[in-house]
């Protein structure tokens, strides 16, 4: 085997007959039934994921963002087949895995792994770390070279832990170390696709940076393909090549990282980006507009008709209430589901804006308040006021302890 073949074996680069996307999702749907009564009849359904389409290329990182309850975690469990889809199609490396049973999915478990959100809840507290990380080898009947223990210790060392942690239990580790254990377990069988559900949300900021850098290093080393689900837009911007924005079970925008952050097209994406703080000292005190969406996210049991965002959108028109916008490619590599996109030609020109659209949001001009407060205190308070304050402060404190001991001294005499 020459050097090129070795590189393909290590980095999972596509061969000529594998030029297509690694993961392809078409019309994916997941409805959780709501049953009531003695006979448990279905009276409704929670539409967690309601028809989404996207592709994940080999070796790239797709970030998925959105508000809580929009269906991100459910989507991750569907593409890893931890949940059975209600409809649609999931295709992995050219093979339809949508409705495969346990036996049929077993070979694909080696190539598709998941990192769970809670680093402690996903680890069995009764098992040692060696038993947890070696479980994939036992379940798949794989016997690595040098034995399972040596392979597990190598995995622990690769994710930044010590091989001596092999016989310890999950409660003996911190949150960041537990997340590294989950990553080691996901990498045990050398998968090609890793779905990370909020991999750093439960960690401290300093630990978040370590785990994110670890994921980047492992992707370069092993040629992994990631689908990362997160709330933190700064983390998503750092790790992703492309980003999908979800709202109420739908993908409303799918774009590359740079274009999305510089010029978002969907109004919901623009509102999300306005909340991202810019860590630039040169912009200290500069005014910036923040879009505050009024009201709560509609219930996924009965989502709004037409565009699901029209109840909170400041650009909503009559067509938005009756016609659901399709996810169209309005620019190269940019797909948006909106009748009135921000940085693209209007898809429904001339349609009057709804009367309720003006009350859907509130524009807040955010300034750096700490820069104004010291200026007011220095101009209003003269220097003499500052010197009088410390002289007046101890005055009432000194006599207080002098008056209080007198009744206390009488009590021991009475006793």
In the chain, how many domains are there? 2
In a domain, 415, yes or no: no
Between CA 131 and CA 288 the distance in angstroms is: 52
Question: In angstroms, rounded to a whole number, what is the distance separating the alpha carbons of residues 409 and 21?
Answer: 87
3-class DSSP assignment, residue 3 = helix
The answer as to whether 67 is a domain residue is: yes
Q: How many residues does the chain have?
A: 415
- How many CB atoms are located within 10 Å of the residue 379 CB? 8
Report yes or no: 140 and 105 within 8 Å, Cβ to Cβ.
Answer: no
Does 278 share its domain with 345? yes
Residue 380 has pLDDT above 50, yes or no: no
Lookup: tokens for 46: 């929670």
104 secondary structure, DSSP code? H
Q: How many Cα neighbours within 13 Å face the side chain of 279?
A: 1
User: Over the range 260-287, which residues count as b (16 or more CB within 10 Å of their CB) and which as e?
Assistant: bbebbbbbbbbbbbbeeeeeeeeeeeee
Is 171 a member of any domain?
yes
Under 8 Å between Cβ of 268 and 247: yes
Q: What is the pLDDT of residues 208-225, one digit of tens each?
A: 888 888 899 999 998 999
Domain of residue 296, residue span = 266-366
Domain termination residue (choose one: 240, 257, 290): 240
Where does a domain end: 327, 348, 366?
366
Q: Rounded to an integer, what distance in angstroms lies between the CA atom of residue 271 and that of residue 250?
A: 17
Tell whether 137 and 232 lie within a shared domain.
yes
Cα separation values, 89 from 97, 113, 401, Å: 8, 19, 79
Name the band, by pLDDT with cuts 50, 70 and 90, for residue 10: very low
Contact 183, 214 (CB under 8 A): yes
d(CA 93, CA 99): 15
We report the CATH number of the domain holding residue 152 as 3.40.50.300
pLDDT in tens, 364-373: 765 544 444 4
Identify the residue with better confidence: 276 or 273: 273
310: pLDDT strictly greater than 80: yes
How far is it, in rounded angstroms, from Cα 157 to Cα 167? 14
Asked if residue 3 belongs to a domain, the reply is no
pLDDT at 229 over 60: yes
Model confidence, pTM: 0.79
Predicted pLDDT of residue 259? 92
């Amino acid at each position: 085997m020459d050097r090129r073949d070795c590189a393909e074996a290590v980095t999972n680069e596509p061969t000529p007959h594998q030029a297509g996307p690694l993961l392809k999702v078409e019309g994916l749907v997941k409805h959780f039934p709501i049953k009531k009564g003695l006979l448990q009849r279905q009276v409704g359904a929670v539409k967690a994921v309601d028809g989404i389409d996207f592709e994940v290329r080999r070796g790239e990182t797709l970030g998925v963002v959105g508000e809580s309850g929009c269906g991100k975690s459910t989507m991750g469990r569907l593409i890893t087949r931890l949940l059975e889809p209600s409809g649609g199609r999931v295709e992995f490396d050219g093979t339809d895995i949508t409705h495969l049973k346990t036996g049929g999915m077993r070979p694909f478990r080696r190539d598709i792994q998941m990192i769970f959100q809670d680093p402690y809840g996903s680890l069995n507290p009764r098992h040692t770390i060696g038993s947890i990380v070696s479980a994939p080898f036992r379940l798949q009947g794989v016997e690595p070279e040098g034995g399972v223990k040596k392979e597990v210790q190598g995995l622990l060392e690769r994710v930044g832990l010590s091989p001596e942690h092999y016989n310890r239990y999950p409660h003996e580790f911190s949150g960041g170390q537990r997340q590294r254990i989950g990553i080691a377990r996901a990498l045990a069988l050398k998968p090609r696709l890793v779905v990370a559900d909020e991999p750093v949300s439960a960690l401290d900021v300093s630990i978040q940076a370590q785990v994110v850098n670890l994921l980047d290093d492992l992707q370069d080393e092993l040629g992994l393909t990631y689908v990362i689900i997160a709330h933190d837009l700064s983390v998503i911007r750092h790790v992703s090549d492309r980003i999908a924005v979800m709202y109420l079970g739908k993908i409303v925008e799918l774009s590359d990282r740079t274009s999305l952050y510089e010029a978002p097209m969907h109004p919901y994406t623009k509102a999300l980006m306005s909340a991202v703080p810019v860590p630039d000292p040169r912009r200290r005190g500069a005014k910036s507009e923040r879009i505050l969406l009024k009201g709560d996210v509609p219930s996924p049991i009965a989502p709004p008709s037409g565009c699901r965002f029209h109840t909170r959108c400041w650009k909503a028109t009559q067509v938005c209430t009756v016609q659901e916008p399709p996810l169209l490619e309005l620019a190269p590599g940019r797909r948006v589901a909106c009748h009135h996109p921000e940085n693209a030609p209007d898809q429904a020109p001339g349609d009057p804006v709804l009367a309720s659209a003006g009350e859907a949001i509130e524009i807040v001009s955010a300034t750096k308040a700490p820069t104004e407060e010291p200026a007011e205190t220095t101009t209003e308070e003269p220097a003499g006021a500052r010197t009088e304050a410390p002289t007046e402060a101890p005055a009432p404190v000194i006599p207080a302890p002098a008056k209080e001991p007198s009744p206390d001294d009488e009590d021991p005499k009475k006793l």
